[in-house]
Structure 1
């Protein structure tokens, strides 16, 4: 079965379900969780008004049937969204898990978007009014740099692009989902993370428009070689080969390997491995069977202090405290 509904009617149905809304943070009246209407599916939508003109939405719901949402031409703020699960298809593209889209402000065209019932939707979405974006210039009477002006329009169709979520973006997304704070501390933390994500997206957008990244033309078997290199790295994460040895093992010269790896995976081989080690450490600490020193050694960190610093930067909590919290929750 397929549900075809206008955007206005869709959100009016959510509004009719307001009696099921609840507060997840008693100290914050601007943080509300809304239940998905039963006629669409199940799950919830968490809406946090971080400040006037800046809204964070965390979605975790599923549709019971294929849904097509029809939208008329309308005013639109700056918006970006990341899918961790599920995705949607519109007139221009399909955005799925591990991808993002970035829309500038302006006029959104008449369009329809389609969601499948096959997978749950886990999504982080941010709406930002153009005045917030302009505020980073300083004096808002000043003009934005030419390479940023396409993101802030008023009477023209908005700019829209999409891309693959980088490891650096993935770290921030997980920090948002696992935010350990409440009240004003939570709001400060989440606003910082939202703006950090925006900075990474703007950087990627500017690089793409100005051609600052020189892309390597991948040959037919290069992608297979790069994925093989990734497998070698992850298989030997505790004692990885050098870049020279790794590139030789997969039959690429070092310069080509570094450039192509970054192009395909969105980061360097070193940073890819670094984040994998931390994810592995997180999994090991969850079991509660090893202490921090043992986990650091197993995932390849020679220095416990460096491991603790890296873990805290990625997950927002010290590994020792994470281990204590985990044991207390069992």
Structure 2
């Protein structure tokens, strides 16, 4: 049976768990619902950052009523059942409708959550914007807010990791964290505009779709020494621009993103089999540096490859 809380109950529970904490410090959750820590940072008026690393004991349902909503984005890495996934959720300002949030238990969730008041964002874009999609992020209080979700790009993942492992303190820390918040906002908007532009593109011809699938097969076969974008385009018989645009239309990611995902998945399989060391697994999927491989594996799966290999063998 899931634990069900009203919006007010959940807010009160959070208030109780953080009542004695100082702003910017790590705050331990009570073990009633979940184990873990939360760090809240008010970067400046209208911009709030929350970092969480938690383990949810049981399935949780939170019942929300209609409510005014600022701009918000969340990046999550979820680990459970031997699997790991990443996603982002992006919300504009406006009316958040009544809904029930359902969060499965028995999972570790590491998240970066940001709230930005609409007047702050309005200062950035000015009185007008050439992109209708950007204006859609600012809706009246009585109009349902804009929302979308997706898989973080490599650049987004790097910015999130920079927030999670910020090396500074005090004013320098706030300046650094706010710069990363705006970097993530820029990357989210660019992703939104890219998808919008590609949705307006004419449908790919069946022959082009076949060539793009052939290109994906070539990448999977050559993880160790992949071809350049131009060489890959030549190999499948289309130009590099059509390959780039078509690849995102067909697979929802870039050529590099597709290659990276398959490299990481193959390395995970190799480590799970126990046949190769971390260095050998890194080399088998095209990483010349064990350190770079370890960092990429940690971003993807939330654990060092050596630790993962030992856990699989246990």
Which residue number in structure 2 is paired with residue 164 of structure 1? 151
Normalised by the size of structure 1, how large is the TM-score? 0.68
Q: Distance in 2 between matches of 1:37 and 1:215?
A: 53
Aligned-partner Cα distance in 2 for 1:171–1:188: 17
User: Any residues of structure 2 matched to 1:19-38 within 5 Å, and which?
Assistant: 21=21, 30-38=23-31
The TM-score with structure 2 as length reference comes to 0.71
Q: Are the counterparts in 1 of residues 212 and 247 from structure 2 also a CA contact under 8 Å?
A: no
**Partner of residue 98, structure 2:** 110
Q: Give 1:40 deviation, angstroms.
A: 0.8
DSSP-derived class of the 1:152 partner: coil
Aligned match for 2:288, one of 287, 293, 298: 298
RMSD of aligned alpha carbons: 3.6
Q: 2:43 aligns with which of 50, 53, 62?
A: 50
Question: What is residue 190 of structure 1 aligned with on the other side?
Answer: 177
Tell me how far apart the structure 1 counterparts of residues 19 and 135 of structure 2 sit (CA, whole Å).
Answer: 42
* Cα deviation digits, residues 51-101 of structure 1 (max 9, x gap): 1110111111011110011100001000011112259xxxxxxxx932211
Cα 1:60–1:145 change in 2 (3 A) is: same
Matches of 2:55 and 2:205 in 1, distance apart? Answer: 37
Distance of 1:223 and 1:299 partners within structure 2? 30
Aligned position for 1:228: 217
Aligned to 1:285: none
Q: Partners in 2 of 1:156 and 1:78 — Cα distance?
A: 14
Alignment pair present for 1:181 and 2:181: no
Distance 1:17 1:130, change over 3 A: same
1:40 corresponds to: 33
Alignment check: 8 A CA contact 2:63 2:99 kept? yes
Residues 138-169 of structure 1: CA deviation (Å, up to 9, x unaligned): 5xxx3455612211122211111112211111
Match of residue 81 from structure 1 = 74
Residue 13 of structure 1 contacts residue 37 of structure 1 at CA under 8 Å; is this kept in 2? Answer: no
Query: Alpha-carbon deviation of 1:246?
Result: 3.5
**Would the alpha carbon gap of residues 20 and 85 (structure 1) be closer, same or farther in structure 2, given more than 3 Å must change?**
farther
- 1:60 and 1:233 mapped to 2: Cα distance? 36
Preserved contact between residue 167 and residue 272 of structure 1 (Cα < 8 Å): no
> What residue is the counterpart of 2:3 in the other structure?
3
Q: Distance in 2 between matches of 1:178 and 1:269?
A: 25
